Copies of this chain bind each other. A is one copy, B any other.
Amino acid sequence: MARDPKAERAPDHCTACEHEDSADKRVQQPRKKSLTNRLRRIEGQIGGVLNMVEQDRYCVDILTQISAVKSALDGVATEILSAHVNGCVRTAVQTDGGEDAIEELLGVVRRMIR
C-alpha cells in the first residue's frame, strides 16, 4: 500500500518525551481534546449510576448502565492503546529494538484481556 506515512500517522500516534521514571514521562495523546471529552462524559455516567442507586432505581437498569460505562472505558482504552503502539512502541522498536517497550505492552494487553 503506497501512502504518505507522515500524513497517515500524524493523528494516531502519541508523541513522547522520555524520562527514566514513567511518572515523569510526558506523552501527548493525538486526540487529547476528544479523549478528555469522552472521559468527562464517562465521569457524568458514573454520577448517573450513583444517582440511580440513591434513588433506589431497579437493579437491572443500574447493571445495564454499568455495562455501558465499561464499554465506554474500553473505547477510550482502545484508542490510547492504538496511539501507544503507533507512537511509543514503534519508536522504541526503531530506536533500540523495543525489547522493554514490547514486554510492557504485552503486560498491559494481558491486563486488558484479564
Chain A residues within CB distance 8 Å of chain B? 1, 3, 5, 8-9, 14, 16, 22-23, 25-29, 32, 35-36, 39-40, 42-43, 46-47, 49-50, 53-64, 66-67, 69-70, 73-74, 76-78, 80-88, 90, 93-94, 97-100, 102, 104-106, 108-114
Contact = CB atoms under 8 A, between A and B. Distances in A.
Contacts of A35: 53
Q: How many copies does the complex hold?
A: 4
Interface of A, secondary structure class, is helix
Interface centre among A14, A28, A85 (most CB of B within 10 A): A85
A53 B70 CA distance: 18
Nearest to A106: B82
B22 A58 contact: yes
A43 B53 contact: no
Contacts of A28: 56
A48 to B, nearest CB: 10
Contact of A29 (B56, B67, B106): B56
Which 7 pairs from chain A and chain B are nearest by CB? A59-B84, A25-B58, A39-B50, A26-B56, A43-B46, A93-B93, A22-B58
